[in-house]
């Protein structure tokens, strides 16, 4: 074990999460990742975030929006994106894809990653006051430039991850996909071996053990095979 790299910051705050520290050396070894302060810190964070995401979903009411509603929303967003692209061809509207926004007026809120990891909050009002006819006076010394098309892209990505399907019992598969996405993303950053679907390779071993530690569920021989293959082909967690 080496500590030549300083940890990026204090540990992430995840109340009621299991203590994952005892599993970290084992996981790093499985994934062919050098153990140091940074990799221990980031892996602990990813384990806690994966656990928190699953815990949050377990607390949601069982009734969910229909797949048809998500399809309608997806189609509408894509149509809006197409209309924006058409408008941007005209000189008068070529900047419509961007918006300069004052921090604090209800559209965007910011906080540092370190603050969030140590229990800080970030949020926006669910029903902000109506926009006036003229641009707002800055509510702070900070302004933000928003890429409207990028926001729509991010919304489509979130819908694709979370939308229900007409088949029953798919929540378990979705949980697997989200956990595998975190595990593979970590390996791509830190492993000395390129992630592959080889049954005895470090990626498969790491993802399986990562999932078992987060969920407490023991996997069968082919557990996660489909999710790992899909994640390596088309990552769910692209760099923002």
* DSSP string for 116-169: HHTT------SSPPPP-SSPPPPSSS-EEEEEHHHHHHHHHHHHHHH---SSTT
pTM of the full structure = 0.55
For the chain, what is the mean pLDDT? 80
Q: Alpha carbon of 39 to those of 43, 79, 94, 116, 191: distances in Å? A: 6, 42, 44, 19, 10
Contact 187, 206 (CB under 8 A): yes
If you average pLDDT over residues 177-198, what whole number do you get?
A: 91
Q: How much is the pLDDT for 208?
A: 92
pLDDT per residue as tens digits for the range 75-116: 999 999 999 999 999 988 888 888 888 887 788 888 776 666
If you average pLDDT over residues 182-191, what whole number do you get?
A: 92
Contact 231, 206 (CB under 8 A): no
| Model confidence band, residue 240 (pLDDT cutoffs 50, 70, 90) | very low
Give the H/E segment covering residue 67: helix 67-87
Query: Pick the residue with more confidence: 71 or 112?
Result: 71
Q: How much is the pLDDT for 216?
A: 87
> What's the gap between Cα 133 and its chain centre?
35
If you average pLDDT over residues 177-194, what whole number do you get?
A: 91
Query: Pick the residue with more confidence: 127 or 31?
Result: 31
| Model confidence band, residue 170 (pLDDT cutoffs 50, 70, 90) | low
If you average pLDDT over residues 120-140, what whole number do you get?
A: 68
Among 45-49, 118-122, 123-127, the range scoring the smallest mean pLDDT is 118-122
Closest CA to 214 of 178, 187, 168, 190: 178
pLDDT per residue as tens digits for the range 152-162: 998 988 888 77
Q: How much is the pLDDT for 1?
A: 44
Q: How much is the pLDDT for 171?
A: 55
Distance CA 126, CA 23 (A): 39
pLDDT per residue as tens digits for the range 40-58: 999 998 998 888 877 655 5
Query: Pick the residue with more confidence: 66 or 31?
Result: 31
């Amino acid at each position: 074990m080496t500590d030549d790299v300083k940890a990026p910051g204090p540990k992430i705050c995840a109340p009621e999460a299991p203590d994952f520290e005892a599993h970290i050396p084992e996981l790093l070894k499985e994934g062919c990742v050098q153990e140091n302060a940074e990799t221990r810190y980031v892996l602990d964070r990813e384990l806690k975030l994966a656990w928190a995401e699953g815990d949050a979903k377990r607390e949601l009411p069982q009734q969910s929006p229909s797949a048809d509603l998500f399809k309608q929303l997806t189609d509408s967003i894509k149509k809006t994106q197409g209309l924006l692209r058409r408008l941007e061809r005209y000189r008068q509207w070529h900047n419509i894809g961007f918006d300069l926004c004052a921090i604090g007026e209800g559209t965007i809120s910011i906080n540092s990653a370190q603050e969030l990891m140590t229990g800080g909050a970030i949020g926006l009002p669910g029903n902000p006051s109506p926009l006036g006819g003229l641009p707002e006076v800055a509510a702070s010394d900070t302004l933000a430039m928003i890429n409207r098309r990028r926001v729509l892209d991010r919304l489509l990505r979130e819908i694709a991850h979370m939308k229900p399907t007409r088949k029953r019992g798919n929540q378990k598969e979705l949980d697997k996909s989200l956990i595998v996405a975190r595990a593979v993303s970590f390996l791509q950053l830190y492993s000395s071996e390129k992630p592959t679907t080889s049954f005895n390779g470090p990626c498969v071993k790491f993802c399986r053990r990562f999932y078992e530690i987060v969920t407490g569920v023991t996997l069968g021989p082919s557990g996660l095979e489909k999710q790992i293959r899909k994640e390596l082909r088309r990552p769910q967690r692209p760099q923002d």
